[in-house]
Structure 1
């Protein structure tokens, strides 16, 4: 299985144009923020100290989730390509088996998602560190790396479930375009979650990536939020609800509750992806 994981990763990173295209939606979101969104949001929150640091961290969180979703989906494109060209059938002639073959695609896509999130984070942090003096502690960086793994894993299994019935690269490309276009809105990147209509907010809450974005924001913005609001909980809660720092159901979710929801979604989607493959393996052995 390790050889298949290496193969899939090598095929992804060797396609330089494909790598750049998988980052296109994240790059567009970054440019849109700098050119159009930042000034308006800065005016809205100008009464707060360290506004630039708050908004920069908020943006980085959303773009990391968007990057994880788009790049893991691109990484899973190899699965669809092999399926269309029936390469997967050739691979099954070895001793790999359907389950391990499927896992090799999932693991390689997760690795792609982690690496590309690291690259985007380094680029964005470097830019905002130079322009706005944005700083993160060592503990925050460790938490972010851990979240990259969770976010990439979550995006991979959700994407794998979505493309389960996709058998051609043409249809996969169309689906990837739709996902890349809508994801920025669904994770509260282009507009703060609290400013959306009720129906749109509900749709955001039903999007797995919004919970990953929430955790990223809590980690990246925590120190600045505590400094800005000086532990004035009511004002801080209002800001967190409006900006999607914490997801609001009957109340604002804690980090622990958000982690639990992500784990439930991840495990459920993984089972939904692997159970049909496991059944196929049982039939294949017979």
Structure 2
């Protein structure tokens, strides 16, 4: 399986277009913030001393979790050009073939998330934001691994039903845009209707956003809310999805960690089962 993972990684990173489209949702979020979202949201935060720092950190946290779906293009290409049949004729089991694609997606998701974080940190530093310390960066790496585990699991399950590059492209566009809204990447969660907020809070990938925001926005929160009432900070945290509140109770970080772990395990198992079942049909 390791040989197959290496092969898939080489194919993926050799295709510059594939890498670009994996980052497309991130580019869209940055563009939306710079052109539209930043000014409109900042206008409501003028009472804070450094609203731009807060919003830039929020934007980076939202952008860091939208890179998983583009990691599975290699599998779709192998299906469409029938190259996958060559693997079936080898001594490698079909579950190992499926596992090779899934591990590839997981690794690519981690790599692209780290790249997004580095790019965002450079942007924040140039824009006057706080550069994160080593301890926070290590915690962020753990969140990246956990987030990639869950998001790539969901992506692998969706991709397991697709056979052609055209269907893959359509699904990537639709799902990528939908996830952007469901994790509060395009619009602050508090600005959404109540029923949509409920949907966001129960969407697994949104819990990745919560963990990212709690770490990335910590310096900006400290700089902006040192002299603000606790009630104002609580309202802002709920508005921007820094915490999730259920029936008046704020969910601690371990709840988000548990949701992501369970999501990853369940959807990876489902993806392997579907891939194996569909491969047995060939």
Q: Same fold (TM over 0.5)?
A: yes
- Give the structure 1 partner of residue 271 of structure 2: 273
Q: For 2:232, which of 206, 231, 235 is the aligned residue?
A: 235
Structure 2 distance, partners of 1:26, 1:191, is: 14
Structure 1 distance, partners of 2:142, 2:60, is: 15
1:276 offset after TM fit, Å? 4.4
1:19 offset after TM fit, Å? 1.1
Structure 2 distance, partners of 1:28, 1:278, is: 35
1:280 offset after TM fit, Å? 8.0
Structure 2 distance, partners of 1:134, 1:254, is: 25
Structure 2 distance, partners of 1:181, 1:207, is: 14
SS state at 1:77 partner: helix
Structure 2 distance, partners of 1:148, 1:260, is: 15
SS state at 1:135 partner: coil
- Give the structure 2 partner of residue 56 of structure 1: 56
Go from structure 1 to structure 2 and tell me whether the alpha carbon gap of 1:222 and 1:134 turns closer, same or farther (over 3 Å shift): closer
Answer yes or no: is 1:118 the counterpart of 2:103.
no
1:279 offset after TM fit, Å? 6.7
Matched-pair contact (CA < 8 Å) for 2:57–2:124: no
Matched-pair contact (CA < 8 Å) for 2:56–2:124: yes
Q: For 1:109, which of 86, 105, 108 is the aligned residue?
A: 105
Runs of 4+ aligned structure 1 residues displaced above 4 Å come to 276-281
Answer yes or no: is 1:176 the counterpart of 2:172.
yes
Structure 2 distance, partners of 1:278, 1:24, is: 30
Aligned length: 279
SS state at 1:65 partner: coil
- Give the structure 2 partner of residue 262 of structure 1: 260
Residues 225-234 or 250-259, more deviating: 225-234
Structure 2 distance, partners of 1:233, 1:268, is: 38
1:227 offset after TM fit, Å? 4.8
Task: Please list every run of 5 or more consecutive structure 2 residues that lacks an aligned counterpart in the other structure.
Answer: none
1:30 offset after TM fit, Å? 0.1
- Give the structure 2 partner of residue 138 of structure 1: 134
Matched-pair contact (CA < 8 Å) for 1:52–1:132: no
- Give the structure 1 partner of residue 90 of structure 2: 94
Matched-pair contact (CA < 8 Å) for 1:188–1:244: yes
- Give the structure 2 partner of residue 16 of structure 1: 16
1:57 offset after TM fit, Å? 1.1
Go from structure 1 to structure 2 and tell me whether the alpha carbon gap of 1:128 and 1:84 turns closer, same or farther (over 3 Å shift): same
Structure 2 distance, partners of 1:53, 1:21, is: 28
Structure 2 distance, partners of 1:108, 1:193, is: 32
Structure 2 distance, partners of 1:279, 1:24, is: 32
Task: Please list every run of 5 or more consecutive structure 1 residues that lacks an aligned counterpart in the other structure.
Answer: none
- Residue deviations 1:237-279 (CA, integer Å, cap 9, x gap): 2111111011222222110111111111111112212234567
Go from structure 1 to structure 2 and tell me whether the alpha carbon gap of 1:100 and 1:232 turns closer, same or farther (over 3 Å shift): farther
Go from structure 1 to structure 2 and tell me whether the alpha carbon gap of 1:232 and 1:137 turns closer, same or farther (over 3 Å shift): farther
SS state at 2:92 partner: coil
CA RMSD of aligned residues (A): 2.1
Answer yes or no: is 1:84 the counterpart of 2:77.
no
Structure 2 distance, partners of 1:25, 1:224, is: 24
- Residue deviations 1:87-123 (CA, integer Å, cap 9, x gap): 2221122222111111111111111111111222212
Go from structure 1 to structure 2 and tell me whether the alpha carbon gap of 1:280 and 1:179 turns closer, same or farther (over 3 Å shift): closer
